[in-house]
Structure 1
C-alpha cells in the first residue's frame, strides 16, 4: 500500500544509497513496499488463503462488499486453492443472521476442491447467553467438526485452535493445550521436515506486534512452551487488526508467527496524533495467500482495497532451523533518513492560541518509516514542553509524500522550536532531525 511513495526524490535517494553501500555495505531500497507478489518458484505443492476478522453484521452492505472483494481477488490470484482459512471473527457478534450473511457470500465464491477451515474468535460469543451456546452455534453454522481439531491436507498438518469464552484476550484451556501437544507430536512424527500450520484467533504473547494489548492471557506461557520445541510450526492469528505493511506482523524466535490483519478494518495502534482509528481505517482490507514449496513456505500480503500485493513476500525455509531464522527482532538496524531535499514549515494561517500546524517531507527507510517523534521546546527557555508521536500513514494508499500535523496543547503568544525525528518499525530513529520555529497567536 506504499506504492508511488517518494517518487519525486529518487535522485537524492540514489546518492544516499551509494553512500550507504560504500560506508556500511548495506543496500537500501527506495520502494521496498510494492512488489508483484510472484514467488519465482515452480508450481506450489499446497496453496491456501488465510484471512480473519471479516466482522459481518446483521444489516448493511459495506461489510458484504468488502468480503466479496477479498474473495474475488483471492480466487483470481489463486484459482487452485487446497484450503481456505478464516482465523476467527467471521461474524461481528455471532448472531444467526450474521452467519447466514457470511455464508451467502462465502458459499458463492468457495472453490469446490478447497477445504474450509474456520476458527472461533471472541466476537462469535457476543450474541450468546452462554459460551456453550455460542460454540454450538459456531459449529452448526460453519460445519466444523469441533471447536479445535486437526486435519491433514495433501500431507500437510493443519491444527485449528478455538478460544473457549468471550474473553477478549482469549481463553485456551489446559485441556486444549495438552491436546495441542499431542497433535504436534503426531505431525512431527509424520514428517519432521514439513511445516506444521497452527491457527489461533488471538496472537501468542512474546511473538507479534500488538501482542501486549491484544495477546492471549489465560495459560499463555503454557501455550508458548508447548509450541517452543517445534521450529517447524507456523502460527496464524488475527484479532489485532494490525496492518500487514508493518514488518513486525511476522516474527521468528522458537517458531514462526504470522498476523493476518483484517478484512474489515485496521487498528494500527494507540498513542499517535491520528488516533487509534485514524482517518481511512475502514478503507483498508488485507489478508494472506500461502504457497508451500519443497524448500520454502511463501506468504504473500494482499491489499484487497487496492487490488495489489504489499511488501516483499515472506519466505520461510523448510526444514526449519532457528539458527537460520531471518524475521527476528534483530533483522533491521538501519535508521530512517531525511533526504537532502526534505523541508519542514509551519502553516501560519492555521495557527491558533493553543495550536500550531507543521508540514514536512517524509523520511525514507529500507523497510518502512513507521512514525515520527516530535519534540516542541519553548524557544526562550529551551525547555521541552510537549512531545508527540505521529504515524507516517504507512497504511494509506498512497502514502503521502508530505505530512501535515496539528500540535495542540500549547500556550498563547509563545515562540516554539519544533524538532521531528523519523522512526521505523523496529524503533530505529533517524540521526537527522527536521527543525522549524513557530509562534502561537
Structure 2
C-alpha cells in the first residue's frame, strides 16, 4: 500500500547517513506479534497488561492509535502497563532489523454502575453467502461478546442483504442462519435482535420470510415499537417514512404519549431507521426523510440511529444534536469516503473508493445518561475497492478487532423543559471542534524513492485532538511551472493502527527537475494547520 523508501532523493536540509550505532543484526524472519495478558474488552476496573513475545525481542507500544516504531515506549517485563481509561494499545515486537505486524487492543474502562440496558447498533451487513461471511461473523460476535457478553438487544439497522432488484430476497435466510448460529455459540439466549428495513433488503415480505417474527414484529408497514428492559425503542421504515402518513402519525402520537409522563421527561427514547435524516449526522450526507427530522424535532429525548451511508464513525460529525440526537452507526461491511478526497494505493492516488473497515456502536443506557462507544470490528490495513472489485479476500483474524474508533460520546438529557434539554446539548454545531492539527516533527516532509524508482513525498502524520481527516497536497514542478499533484488526500484515519507516514506519489517526475511540495493537515471540521513545505530535485 505504501512506497518503501530506498533512497532519499533530496530534502530541504541534508540528511545524515545511518551510522554503525543504528545497525542491528538481521534475522531470518519477522517475529510474531506480541500477545497480551488481558484481552481487549469492557472492564469495570483498571487493567494491568503484560506482553508476551519471542525470546530476544523488544516490545514497543503506543497509546494514541499510531503504529509503534523503534522510538516508541519500551515495554519492560518487570513494569506492567496500567490502563485506567478508554485506550487503544498497539504493540510491535522488534528483533534486529525485523518487526512483527502491529496488533492492537481496545479497552473500555467503566465503573461498577450497572446500565439499565445495553444495545449493539450495527447496519449495512450486506451478506450474500455463507462462504465469505461465516468466519467473519464469528469474529464479529466474538468482539461483541468481549464488550457485552449478553447484550440486551442487537439492532441491525437495514441492508441485511445486497438486493438490487435482482431477486436476492432469500439471502435473508442466510443472514438469519449466521446470526442465530452465533447467538447460540455465544450463549446470548436472552438477546433481542431487532431489524429495520433498508433499501437493499428486497422488501418487507422478504424480511418477514427470512427471520423469526420477534426480530421484525411489524404489523404491515415495516415499523414497530419495542421495549428493551424498560427502554423504549421505535423502529421506523425510512424507505416510506416521508410520505407515510400513518407511520408519521403513529410515531408522533407514541412519542407525545411517552414524554407527557413526567417520569419520561429526561429518559432517552431510541429510534432506529436505516437512512439518515436531513441536516444531521455527517452533515446530512446521503440523507433523506426531512419529515422524520421535522417529527422528531419536538422530542429532544429521541436518539436516532441511522446507517445507509457507510460513512465511518471515527469522525465526530457522526453525532449531531440540535432538536434531538442523531448518530451515524457506521457499516458492518465496508466504509465509504465522502466525495472529493483521494487515497494512496499501490497504483497511485485513487479517487472514489471503499475500504473494508467494519464498525458498530455499543450503547449503554443509564438513569442519567446514555453512553455510546465506537468500536472497530475490523480495521486492518486490508484491500480496497477500486475498478469495480476488491483487490483481495478480506477474512479474519483481524489484528484490530475490538479497538476503539474514537472516544465515547455521552448524551445527557438535563433540564425541566424540552427547550432546557436542547440548550444543554453538547454535540451541536456551535460546539464543534475548533482546534487545528499540527505537524510535530522537525521535518514533516521528505522525498523518497520507491523500489521501481518512483518518486514520492512522504508526510509524517500530523497530530490533532480528535483526528486528522486529510491533507491538502500541492506539488509543483518548478522547473516547468506545472502542477504535478493537487489533491485532498485522506490520512488513513479509518485504519487501526494508523500509519505514521503517507507517501504521496509524484507521477511523471523528471530527473533533474526541481519540485516544491506544500502540505496542510485538515481535521473533519475544516480546521487547518500551517503549511509544511519541501523543495527537492528529482
**TM-score tier after normalising by the smaller chain length:** 0.7 to 0.9
Partner of residue 315, structure 1: 410
The answer to whether structure 1 residue 347 and structure 2 residue 448 are counterparts is: yes
Shift, 1:418, TM fit: 1.3
- Give the C-alpha shift of residue 342 in structure 1: 3.7
Contact 2:319 2:427 (8 Å CA) reproduced: yes
**Structure with the greater alpha carbon radius of gyration:** 2
In the alignment, structure 1 segments of 5+ residues that lack a partner are: 12-28, 126-133
2:84 alignment partner in structure 1: none
The residue aligned with 1:117 is 194
Residues 322 and 425 in structure 2, CA contact (< 8 A), matched pair in contact too: yes
Q: How large is the Cα RMSD of the aligned pairs?
A: 3.0
- The match for 1:298 is 371
Contact 1:39 1:313 in 2 (8 A): no
Q: CA 1:9–1:365 in 2, change beyond 3 Å: closer, same or farther?
A: farther
Q: Does 1:38 align with 2:38?
A: no
Confirm or deny: 8 A CA contact 2:514 2:536 kept in the other structure.
yes
Q: CA deviation at 1:369?
A: 0.7
Q: For the residues of structure 1 that align with 2:239 and 2:459, how far apart are their CA atoms?
A: 48
Task: Rate the CA distance shift 1:409–1:324 in 2: closer, same or farther, 3 A.
Answer: farther
Which stretch has the larger CA shift, 265-274 or 80-89? Answer: 265-274
Contact 1:157 1:187 in 2 (8 A): no
- Residue equivalent to 2:279: 206
State the Cα distance separating 1:198 from its structure 2 match.
0.7
Where does 1:238-257 land on structure 2 (aligned, <5 Å)?
A: 238-257=307-326
What is aligned with 1:399? 498
Q: Distance in 1 between matches of 2:245 and 2:480?
A: 59
Q: Which has the higher contact order (CA 8 A, sep 6+)?
A: 1
Higher helix fraction: Structure 1 or Structure 2? 1
* Deviations, residues 48-72 of structure 1 (Å, cap 9, x unaligned): 1111111111x35223322232222
Matched, 1:435 2:533: yes
Q: Say how many residue pairs are matched.
A: 400
Q: What are the residue-to-residue correspondences of 1:38-187 with 2, within 5 Å? A: 38-40=109-111, 42-57=113-128, 59=129, 61-93=131-163, 95-110=168-183, 111-125=188-202, 134-142=203-211, 143=213, 144-146=216-218, 147-164=222-239, 173-187=244-258
Taking a change above 3 Å as real, the CA distance of residues 425 and 419 of structure 1, as seen in their structure-2 partners, is same
Asked if 1:325 is matched to 2:425, the reply is yes
Superposed counterparts of 1:246-285, under 5 Å: 246-274=315-343, 275=350, 278=353, 281-282=355-356, 284-285=357-358
2:359 matched residue in structure 1: 286
Deviations 1:264-291 (A, max 9, x none): 1111222222146657x12x21111111
Q: Is the 8 Å Cα contact of residues 45 and 291 (structure 1) preserved in structure 2?
A: yes
The answer to whether the 8 Å contact 1:30/1:364 transfers is no
Worse overlay, 254-263 or 95-104:
95-104
From the superposition, tell whether residues 349 and 399 of structure 1 become closer, same or farther in structure 2 (CA, over 3 Å).
closer
Contact 2:64 2:88 in 1 (8 A): no
Distance in 2, Cα, partners of 1:205 & 1:301: 22
The aligned residue for residue 3 of structure 1 is 65
Name the CA distance, whole Å, in 2 between partners of 1:349 and 1:103.
Answer: 47
3-state secondary structure, aligned to 1:209:
helix
TM-score (norm 2): 0.68
Contact 2:170–2:206 under 8 Å retained in 1: no
Secondary structure of 1:367's match? coil
CA distance in 2, matches of 1:30, 1:262: 21
Instruction: Identify the residue that residue 22 of structure 1 maps to in structure 2.
Output: none
Whether the 8 Å CA contact 1:161–1:198 is kept in 2: the answer is yes
CA contact (8 A) 1:2 1:397 kept: no
Q: CA separation of 1:76/1:345 partners in 2, compared to 1, >3 Å: closer, same or farther?
A: closer
State the alpha-carbon separation in 2 of the partners of residues 2 and 277 from structure 1.
Answer: 28
1:271/1:108 CA distance change after superposition, 3 Å? same
How many angstroms apart in 1 are the aligned matches of 2:514 and 2:209?
A: 65
Distance 2:516 2:144 in 1: 49
Compared with structure 1, are the counterparts of its residues 35 and 325 closer, same or farther at alpha carbon in structure 2 (3 Å cutoff)? farther
1 or 2, which has the higher strand percentage? Answer: 2
Q: Does 1:388 align with 2:458?
A: no
Post-superposition offset of 1:351: 9.3
Paired with 1:138 and 1:349, the residues of 2 have a C-alpha distance of: 51
Residue 376 in 1 paired to residue 475 in 2?
A: yes
> Could you state the TM-score of these two structures normalised by the residue count of structure 1?
0.82
What do residues 149-168 of structure 1 show as CA deviations (whole Å, max 9, x unaligned)?
11222222101011336xxx
C-alpha change, 1:271 and 1:60, in structure 2 (3 Å) is farther
Match of 1:227 in 2: 296
What is the CA-CA distance between 1:195 and the residue it aligns to? Answer: 0.5
Shift of 1:413: 7.4
- Measured in 1, the distance between the counterparts of 2:450 and 2:176 equals 52
- Structure 2: state its 5+ residue gaps: 1-62, 74-86, 90-103, 344-349, 379-399, 416-420
Using the alignment, how far apart are the partners of 1:300 and 1:158 within structure 2?
Answer: 19
For residue 253 of structure 2, give the secondary structure of its aligned residue in structure 1.
helix
CA contact (8 A) 2:342 2:352 kept: no
